[in-house]
Copies of this chain bind each other. A is one copy, B any other.
Amino acid sequence: MTRESNKGETYRHAPAFILLFLARENLYGAALLSKMQEELPRCFADSAVIYRSLQELEEDGSVEAYWETDVSGPARKWYAITAKGYERLAQFKEDIEIRKKNLEFFLKSYKIIVKKD
């Protein structure tokens, strides 16, 4: 492998997980990142992934944004999931179920191969 760096562990989950978190509550970018880092077993996101994915989701119409300027500190751009975002979230869910099955196939087969728990 050219890739011995052990980097590149995000696996394109970003939009799916962002929509998931926004389905629970409206969030601005930095808060979204914090929540993900707290709650995900291994968080795949850094601020670049978050902000760029949010931009893409906004262009796509999956989320809507509004600025909060009346708080202390720099303005926050809050995001809310839209009807289209819920549709995409449902599609991601179908996709993730299949991906999970693939991973389960791997782990089941691995267990047989190494013959130990």
Contact = CB atoms under 8 A, between A and B. Distances in A.
Interface residues of A, number: 46
Contacts of A110: 20, 89, 93
Interface string A84-112: 00000110110111111111111101100
A28 to B, nearest CB: 20
Query: For chain A, what secondary structure do more than half of its interface residues adopt (helix, strand, loop), or is it mixed?
Result: helix
Contact of A56 (B1, B20, B96, B98): B1
Contact of A95 (B9, B60, B90): B9
A100 to B, nearest CB: 4
A41 B102 contact: yes
Given A1-B60, A2-B56, A11 B109 contact: no
A21 B23 CA distance: 38
Contacts of A97: 107
A80 to B, nearest CB: 14
